[in-house]
Amino acid sequence: MISSMGYVFIAARDPQQWLSYGTEVLGMMQAPGMPAGDSVYLKIDERPFRFAVVPGEEDHLLCCGLEVRDGAALDQLCKRLEEAGVAFAWGSAAEAGERCVRRFIRCSDPSGNRLEIYCGATLDYLKFVSPQGIAGFETGCNGSAGFGHAVLPASKLEETHAFYTELLGMGDTDYMNFRFSEDPADPGLGLYFLHADNPRHHSLALFECENAAGCIHLMLEVSTVDEVGYCLDRVLARDIPVTSTLGRHTNDRMLSFYMMTPGGFPLEFGCQGLQMDWSDYTPTVSATPSLWGHKFAL
Ligand SMILES: [Fe+2]
């Protein structure tokens, strides 16, 4: 039922830090169609914005915006939430206008991650011109594959997994017991990878932990290995902490590295993620996160 990971809202003590990080390091564009006030809106494709950074007391992820195909899908989803006793509230027309969507609801998953679920996203078609010369980000036709993916903390892992699969209709892609050490006795932590109704291998993953920043990482995907390399150079030139070296993931084959953001959580910057056909797919269990590389600094 969920079609993509559409946008995120991020709270920041200084949103201007995200403006310089987003434009100078990630190569995102300050959204020309959005208000330029205390908040910072960043654009990567036909959508008016993908990251909205709003002033806050702490640096953390505020919420993820999940897209559904149309109003009927949103109404059906609300009915399911009601029947399951999950609290939700409609955003006002003014708030929908600020997000450039027709209608949306707010709710939380069982681990407390805040969500907005919306339909009727506006495409402003304002040309995406990357300040770093990136030709484009991989977001599908008209941005229908979403900005990338988010990995969220899920202290109540099984309950949270059931919420996304049974109520929001996301599909299982892969499961992993993520170990931080080579110790075979390390039980690891559970990590579910879920897909939405688009070819991206996963739009959301749930990691069995608590996390003050409200986010394990966000991922953006570019079209070429060189764009990943150029970004890594920009990160190193600014002494931004690299939280994982370059590597290739097993399950989505993403070639990527991870860096720290001003939000207190990392961002994965990659390319070559798999495009899946869900009509012919069996969920997998992966024994290891990466084919090579991805040495995490913890
Ligand atoms: Fe990732």
**pLDDT tens by residue, 236-290:** 999 999 999 999 999 999 999 999 999 999 999 999 999 999 999 999 999 999 9
Rounded mean pLDDT of 48-73? 98
Domain that holds residue 267: 2-293
* CA–CA distance, 60 with 9 (Å, rounded to integer): 9
Instruction: Indicate the pairing of strand 60-68 with strand 114-119.
Output: parallel
Q: Which residues pair with 8 in a beta bridge?
A: 51, 64
The answer on pLDDT for 186 being more than 90 is no
CATH code, 77 = 3.10.180.10
Rounded to the nearest angstrom, the distance between the alpha carbon of 270 and the centre of ligand 1 is 9
Q: Is 141 among the domain residues?
A: yes
Q: How many helices (H) and strands (E) does the chain have?
A: 5, 18
Q: Is 111 among the domain residues?
A: yes
Which contiguous run of DSSP H or E holds residue 284? strand 284-286
In sequence order, which residues have a C-beta less than 8 Å from that of residue 193 and are 6 or more positions away?
172, 173, 174, 175, 176, 201, 202, 204, 205, 251, 252
Rounded to the nearest angstrom, the distance between the alpha carbon of 154 and the centre of ligand 1 is 15
Q: Is 273 among the domain residues?
A: yes
Q: Look at residues 252, 140, 118 and name the one whose alpha carbon lies nearest to residue 191.
A: 252
Is the pTM value of this prediction over 0.95?
yes
Number of structural domains in the chain:
1
Place of tokens 């110790």: 183
CB contact at 8 A, 41 and 30: yes
Q: Look at residues 189, 161, 162, 190 and name the one whose alpha carbon lies nearest to residue 175.
A: 190
For residue 228, the model assigns a pLDDT of 98
Residue 224: count other Cβ atoms within 10 Å of its Cβ: 12
Rounded to the nearest angstrom, the distance between the alpha carbon of 10 and the centre of ligand 1 is 18
Rounded to the nearest angstrom, the distance between the alpha carbon of 257 and the centre of ligand 1 is 9
Q: Is 58 among the domain residues?
A: yes
Rounded mean pLDDT of 41-64? 97
Sorting pLDDT into bands at 50, 70 and 90, what band is 178?
confident
**pLDDT tens by residue, 92-113:** 999 999 999 999 999 999 999 9
Rounded to the nearest angstrom, the distance between the alpha carbon of 48 and the centre of ligand 1 is 24
Cα three-residue angle 233-234-239, rounded to 5 degrees: 95
Q: Is 147 among the domain residues?
A: yes
Sorting pLDDT into bands at 50, 70 and 90, what band is 298?
low
Q: Look at residues 115, 175, 178, 149 and name the one whose alpha carbon lies nearest to residue 266.
A: 149
Rounded to the nearest angstrom, the distance between the alpha carbon of 223 and the centre of ligand 1 is 16
For residue 187, the model assigns a pLDDT of 82
Instruction: Indicate the pairing of strand 290-293 with strand 242-249.
Output: antiparallel
Q: Is 298 among the domain residues?
A: no
Rounded to the nearest angstrom, the distance between the alpha carbon of 266 and the centre of ligand 1 is 10
CB contact at 8 A, 182 and 196: no
Rounded to the nearest angstrom, the distance between the alpha carbon of 72 and the centre of ligand 1 is 31
* CA–CA distance, 293 with 253 (Å, rounded to integer): 12
Q: Is 164 among the domain residues?
A: yes
Q: Is 269 among the domain residues?
A: yes
**How high does pLDDT run on average in the chain?**
96
